[in-house]
Amino acid sequence: DLFLYNERLVNLPTSVCSCRHITSINLAFNQLKALPESMTSLASLLAVNLARNSFSSFPDVLCHMTRLERLQMQENELQLIPTSIGYLVNLRVLALHHNKLSYLPPSISNLLRLQTLELHANQFRSISPSLGALSPVPKVRV
Q: What mean pLDDT do residues 24-48 have?
A: 97
pTM attached to this predicted model: 0.94
- Structural domain boundaries, residue 128: 2-141
Asked if the model's pLDDT at residue 105 lies above 80, the reply is: yes
Residue partners of 88: CB distance under 8 A and separation at least 6: 62, 63, 65, 66, 68, 71, 94, 111
Model confidence band, residue 118 (pLDDT cutoffs 50, 70, 90): very high
Q: What is the CATH number of the domain that holds 119?
A: 3.80.10.10
What does the pLDDT look like over 44-98, one tens digit per residue?
999 999 999 999 999 999 999 999 999 999 999 999 999 999 999 999 999 999 9
Give the total number of structural domains in the chain: 1
Q: How far lies 138's CA from each of 73, 113, 123, 133, in Å?
A: 18, 8, 21, 11
Q: Are strands 70-72 and 24-26 parallel, antiparallel or unpaired?
A: unpaired
